[in-house]
């Protein structure tokens, strides 16, 4: 990696690494020693720094707190058996970062800054990447508006930051899922495709109701008729119906997932029929009833390949076959992990070595 950004690095005097229990990591609770930070002012990005992880000082009038100009990304770095460290498809996250920025009326970030900020930080925190199976260093780039101004207008100043932290598997079990038919996550013409903070805040209340009813995740449907499936929690959703891999088309209500894209690519390379289209609730329920729905899973960076074991629609529960016995799901999750950990040839050139 060439250092072209002139990042000022201030290191911690004492690492916290020795105090971390890597066998019992909870997602998003452990952070590495350092974080990346940059500022946007007068129409350009500058002040690139890596500093000790810690609190930052903000104005209570900071516009992102009031009007939600704030969004993020999520990606992972993996340690291979030979010690090599690679980041999975950061170019895709850089692209989506800027799609979110545009929709939120925020400045874009040149891809080189995105990639270099992440690579430099990951390189510095290499020792924090867990060796445990299914574990990785989670990378959280984010941007937020910083003008201390209560007028409803795009901010003129912004902060870009990157946090990193070791994580294990996000879900520890197969998921019991409810098809949501009352609340919506996103609507046409809205910003469901942007990874902005409000999309997650708005999903919390319906998700809490789902949890209270005993469901692990909600399967979101279109906001007009609740007749078409869109996503599942913080993941894209995929179905194997009679041997065909089916997933909702990405549109303005659906996040364009990197894991989704990777799975579609692998399935096509394996000669499995793939359909990206609108997917109706009715057809999935029918396929579940007649046994043609053999696999259903969420696909996401944090979630990985997260298998669904039951789908409930209008209080009727449909059980799915045990994913442990599914040749497709097993092959898929193993192959994805094998690529990320460098155990097999990365034929699509997805790993960016740090």
**Residues of this chain that bind ligand COI (CB under 6 A):** 74, 234, 300-303
CB of 19 to ligand PLP, least distance (A): 29
| Subset of 166-205 contacting ligand PLP (CB under 6 A) | none
Q: How many residues bind ligand PLP (CB under 6 A)?
A: 13
Q: Is 125 in the site for ligand PLP (CB under 6 A)?
A: no
Handedness of CA 195, 76, 231, 174 (dihedral sign): negative
Q: Which two tokens stand for residue 311?
A: 């789908």
231: partner contacted, choices ligand COI, ligand PLP, none (Cβ within 5-8 A by kind): ligand PLP
- Let me know if 331 is exposed, middle or buried by CB neighbors in 10 A (0-12, 13-18, 19+): middle
Among 221, 259, 335, 351, binds ligand PLP (CB under 6 A): 259
Q: Cα(62)–Cα(272) distance, rounded to whole angstroms? A: 50
Residue among 253 and 294 whose Cβ is closer to ligand COI: 253
Q: Which two tokens stand for residue 314?
A: 């209008």
Helices (runs of H) and strands (runs of E) counted in the chain:
7, 19
Binding mask 59-88 for ligand PLP (x = CB under 6 A): ---------------x--------------
Q: Is 25 in the site for ligand PLP (CB under 6 A)?
A: no
Phi, psi angles (nearest 5°) of residue 288: -70, -40
Residue 195 half-sphere exposure toward CB, CA atoms < 13 A: 24
Q: Is 336 in the site for ligand PLP (CB under 6 A)?
A: no
CB of 169 to ligand PLP, least distance (A): 14
First to last CA, the chain: 7
Residue among 38 and 139 whose Cβ is closer to ligand PLP: 139
Q: At what angle do helices 90-103 and 111-124 cross, to 10 degrees?
A: 130
CB of 99 to ligand COI, least distance (A): 15
Residues contributing to the site for ligand PLP (CB under 6 A): 74, 231, 234-236, 255, 257-260, 299-301
């Amino acid at each position: 990696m060439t250092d072209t950004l002139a990042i000022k690095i201030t290191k911690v005097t004492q690492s916290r690494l020795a105090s971390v229990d890597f066998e019992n990591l909870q997602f998003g609770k452990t952070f590495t020693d350092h974080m990346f930070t940059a500022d946007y002012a007068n129409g350009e990005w500058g002040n690139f720094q890596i500093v000790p992880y810690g609190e930052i000082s903000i104005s209570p009038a900071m516009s992102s707190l009031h009007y939600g100009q704030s969004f993020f990304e999520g990606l992972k770095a993996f340690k291979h058996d030979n010690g090599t460290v690679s980041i999975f498809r950061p170019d895709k996250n850089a692209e989506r970062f800027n799609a979110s920025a545009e929709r939120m009326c925020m400045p874009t970030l040149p891809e080189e800054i995105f990639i270099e900020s992440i690579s430099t930080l990951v390189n510095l925190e290499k020792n924090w990447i867990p060796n445990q199976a299914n574990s990785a260093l989670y990378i959280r780039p984010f941007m937020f508006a910083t003008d201390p101004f209560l007028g409803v207008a795009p901010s003129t100043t912004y902060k870009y930051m990157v946090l990193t932290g070791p994580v294990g598997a996000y879900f520890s079990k197969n998921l019991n899922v409810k098809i949501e038919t009352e609340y919506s996550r996103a609507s046409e013409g809205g910003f469901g495709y942007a990874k902005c903070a409000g999309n997650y805040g708005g999903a919390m209340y319906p998700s809490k109701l789902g949890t209270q009813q005993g469901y692990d995740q909600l399967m979101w449907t279109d906001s007009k008729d609740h007749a078409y499936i869109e996503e599942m929690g913080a993941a894209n959703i995929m179905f194997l119906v009679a041997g065909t891999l089916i997933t909702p088309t990405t549109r303005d209500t659906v996040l364009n997932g990197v894991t989704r894209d990777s799975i579609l690519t692998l399935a096509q390379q394996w000669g499995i029929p793939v359909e990206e289209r609108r997917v109706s609730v009715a057809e999935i329920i029918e396929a579940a009833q007649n046994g043609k729905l053999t696999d259903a899973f969420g696909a996401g960076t944090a979630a990985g390949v997260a298998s669904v074991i039951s789908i409930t629609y209008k209080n009727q529960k449909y059980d799915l076959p045990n994913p442990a016995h599914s040749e497709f799901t097993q092959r898929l999750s193993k192959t994805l992990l094998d690529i990320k950990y460098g155990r097999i040839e990365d034929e699509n050139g997805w790993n960016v070595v740090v």
